[in-house]
Structure 1
Amino acid sequence: MDVTRAIADLDEVRTRLAAVQRFRGLSGPAAIASGVAAVATGLVQLAFVPHPASAAEGARYVAIWIACLTFALAVNYGALAVWLANNWSSRTRTELRTAAIAIAPAVVAGGAFTAALLAHNELGMLPGTWALCYALGLLSSRSMLPRGTTAVALAFAATGATLLFAAGTNALAWWVMPLTFGCGQLAIGALIERDRDARAGC
C-alpha cells in the first residue's frame, strides 16, 4: 500500500472520528451573547463598585457577577434545550451524557471552591478560581469541542493561575472578568461558528 495514501486515509479517519465525537449542541450565538454580557457586566461593575474593598462592596461584586452567570446559563442552556427539542435521538442523548460527564467535575469543583471562598471571605481569589475551573472543564471536554478550544482553555488556565497570586482584592477590579470571561466566551463562540460553517460546507 502506498504510504502517502495510507497517511491520508488515516488523517481522514481521525477527522471523521473527531466529527462524530463533536458535541453538536453548542451554540455560537449563545456563547457570544455570554461574552457580550460579561463585557456589559464589567461596565456595570465600573459604575457601581469598580474596585471592591469593603465587605459591602464585595457583596455587591458577587451579586453583580452571579447575575451575569445566571444570564449566561439561561442563554446557553436555553439554546441547548432548543437543539435537543429539534434533534432528539439516541445519538443526541449519548452526546449530552458524554458532555455532562466530562464537564461535571469542573462544575462541582467550581461550586465547592466558590462556597468555601465566600465562607472564608476570600473574595480576591474568586476570579482566578473561576477561570481555572472553567479551563479544566474545557480541557476535559476538548475532544467534543471545536478545534482551537484547547488554546482558549490554556489561556484561561494561565490567567486564572496569575489571578490567584494577585495581591489583596486586585483580581476584583472591574476589567478583570470582562477581559477574562468576556474575551474568552467571544473566542469560543467564534470557534463554534467557524466549526459549524466548516461542517456545513463539507
Structure 2
Amino acid sequence: MIANHIHDALGQVRRLQGLILEKRKFTGYSGTARMLGGAVALFGCVLMAFHVEGYFAHLIGWAGILAVALAVNYGALVLWFVQLPDRERTLRTISPALDAIPPLAVGAVFTAALLLRGLPDLLFGAWMSLYGLAHMTCRSALPRENAWLGIYYLSCGAVFLLWPGTSFAQPLPAGAVFLLGEWFGGIVFYRHKAKAMEDYEDE
C-alpha cells in the first residue's frame, strides 16, 4: 500500500517537472521568420540554377541567402528580446540562441578550409551537418521536434558529403533540403509559441 502511494507521488513529481520544463522552453525564435528564410533559400537557389555560372558567383549567392536569413531570424529575435520585461532581459534568457553560435562559427571555418583546398562540392554537406549539430546543442531548451530536425539535417549532410555526384554548382537539391527543414522548424516554433501564449493567458 505504501509502495503504491510512493509510486503515485513519484509519478506526480515527474509530471510536474515535465510541465515546468515545458513552460521554460525558449520562445524567442519566430516561426514565420524561419519559414521566410527557407523560402528565400529556395528562391535564391532557383535564381542561381538558371541564371548564375561559376563557383565564385554561386558562393556570392549563398552569402546573400545567409545574410537575408540571419537578418530576418535574428531581427525577429532582437525584437522579441527588447519587448521582454526588464527583469527577463538577460543573456541567460537568450542562451539557446547563444549555444548555437559555436557550431555555426565552425561552419564558417569549414567553409574557408574547403574553399582554400579547392573542395567546394563538400560545402553543402558540411553546412547541413553543422547546422544539424546547432539544433542538437540546444535541444533541451527547444520543442522536442527540434531534435528530430537536427537529425534530419545531420542525415542530409551525410548524404551530401558521401554522394559522389554532389556539385556546388547545382544548388536546387540543397535549396529543397533547407526549404523543407526551415518550414518544418517554422511550424514547430509557431505552434510552440502559440501554446506558450495560451498557457500564459490561462495563468
Pairing 1:1-202 to 2, within 5 Å after superposition: 1=5, 3-4=7-8, 6-20=10-24, 22-49=25-52, 57-93=54-90, 94-96=92-94, 98-167=95-164, 169-170=166-167, 172-202=169-199
List gaps (5 residues or longer) in structure 1: 50-55
List gaps (5 residues or longer) in structure 2: none
Deviation at 1:35, TM superposition (A): 0.9
Q: Distance in 2 between matches of 1:172 and 1:11?
A: 51
Bigger mean CA offset, 122-131 vs 32-41:
32-41
How many pairs are equivalent? Answer: 194
Deviation at 1:114, TM superposition (A): 0.5
Q: Distance in 2 between matches of 1:59 and 1:38?
A: 17
SS in 2 for 1:200: helix
Q: Distance in 2 between matches of 1:64 and 1:91?
A: 38
User: Deviation digits for residues 99-155 of structure 1, max 9, x if unmatched?
Assistant: 244222202210110111111121100000000010011000111212201111101
Moved over 6 A (4+): none
TM-score normalised to structure 2 length = 0.87
Report the aligned-residue RMSD.
1.8
Asked if 2 retains the 8 angstrom alpha-carbon contact of 1:127 and 1:172, the reply is no
User: Which one has a bigger Cα radius of gyration?
Assistant: 2
Identical columns (%): 25
